[in-house]
Structure 1
Amino acid sequence: MTAEHALVSLVYCSSATHPFSEPELADLLAVSRARNSARDITGMLLYRGGEFVQILEGARSDVESLMEIIGRDPRHEDVRVLIEEPLHERRFAEWTMGYQSLVAAEPKMLSGYRDSFDDLRVGDHDMIGRAIMELTLWFRVRESAAR
């Protein structure tokens, strides 16, 4: 397998240039899922309070090409790649784009509840990696329970 076809996982965060409504998010997801399916890209998208965190999985050349498109998308600003790493197998093999809109925290929420992505922007690499793994696990558990 060549380096450009090697399987990678890339995690980025970005700020929306305007708050997305549920219909706008639904449109974004419909287009993203169709395009990702055509490119054999899988992953997960989280949105909360104007902030996106997305995990993309696929061939390095396809993921990097998609990141160039995302970087030029006028709906995003401050696009930052947090982690890019090789994968032996996909974590989201069944999803061209799994999605979860995070709700605002309530006073009675348990400690440890993630109510923002702020720590992903300023944290060190190890902390970012742990946070991404927590988000991935949380998302997969919720998706499995919903089936």
Structure 2
Amino acid sequence: MLVRLVYASRARRDLSAHDLQDIVRRSREHNTHEGITGLLCHTDGVFIQVLEGSREAVNVRYKRIVMDERHDQCTLIAYDEIGERRYAGWSMGQVNLHRLNPALLLKYGETQRLDPFRMTGHGLTTLFDELVAAGAIECH
């Protein structure tokens, strides 16, 4: 059975570009091995991540994230059983916020600032779908 999990958290400390690259690199390595796909977004000290895969693999990964000292206020936004993956091509795609049209944020949120704690799971997932369609996802 496949599931999709969306969560948001706050970074406990400021992260450098190198720190973020290391997080993405490690996520890609682990996710490939565990059959997990998804997207990661980091902005203004906030992480937003979509994880897709088997229920067991996604649950184990989310538990590790909750226990990770780099995360604070880890909040489960959505958890759904799914028939197919939306992000099957990416062990961990990374949202390029420089390609984000601020008006798109108003479509799904209260302001032009990305605040996942004030958005629905459906709104975040649909926003990510539009970012994929617009080519605003980086994968290596």
Instruction: Compute the TM-score of the two structures, normalised by the length of structure 2.
Output: 0.83
Q: How does 1:99-118 map to 2 (within 5 A)?
A: 99-103=94-98, 111-113=103-105, 115-118=112-115
1:136 to 117, 120, 129: 129
Question: In structure 2, do the counterparts of structure 1 residues 24 and 128 end up closer, same or farther at CA, with 3 Å as the change threshold?
Answer: same
Question: In structure 2, do the counterparts of structure 1 residues 110 and 100 end up closer, same or farther at CA, with 3 Å as the change threshold?
Answer: closer
CA apart distance, 1:19: 1.9
Does the CA-based 8 Å contact 2:40-2:92 persist in structure 1? yes
2:117 matched residue in structure 1:
121
Q: Distance in 1 between matches of 2:85 and 2:94?
A: 16
SS at match of 1:94: coil
- Name which one, 1 or 2, has greater alpha-carbon Rg: 1
Q: Where do 5+ consecutive residues of structure 1 fail to align?
A: 1-5
Instruction: State the number of aligned residues.
Output: 134
2:109 matched residue in structure 1:
none
SS at match of 2:132: helix
% identical equivalent positions: 29
CA apart distance, 1:61: 0.6
Query: How big is the alpha-carbon RMSD for the aligned residues of Structure 1 and Structure 2?
Result: 2.5
Does the CA-based 8 Å contact 1:47-1:101 persist in structure 2? no
Question: Which amino acid in the other structure matches residue 20 of structure 2?
Answer: L
SS at match of 1:74: coil
Question: Does 1:51 pair with 2:46?
Answer: yes
Does the CA-based 8 Å contact 2:10-2:46 persist in structure 1? yes
Does the CA-based 8 Å contact 1:48-1:101 persist in structure 2? no
Q: Distance in 1 between matches of 2:92 and 2:137?
A: 15
Question: In structure 2, do the counterparts of structure 1 residues 140 and 24 end up closer, same or farther at CA, with 3 Å as the change threshold?
Answer: farther
Question: In structure 2, do the counterparts of structure 1 residues 144 and 11 end up closer, same or farther at CA, with 3 Å as the change threshold?
Answer: closer
Q: Where do 5+ consecutive residues of structure 2 fail to align?
A: 107-111
CA apart distance, 1:145: 9.8
Structure 1, 90-99 or 136-145: larger mean CA deviation: 136-145
Question: In structure 2, do the counterparts of structure 1 residues 9 and 29 end up closer, same or farther at CA, with 3 Å as the change threshold?
Answer: same
Instruction: Compute the TM-score of the two structures, normalised by the length of structure 1.
Output: 0.80
CA apart distance, 1:143: 4.9
2:72 to 73, 77, 82: 77
Question: In structure 2, do the counterparts of structure 1 residues 67 and 145 end up closer, same or farther at CA, with 3 Å as the change threshold?
Answer: closer
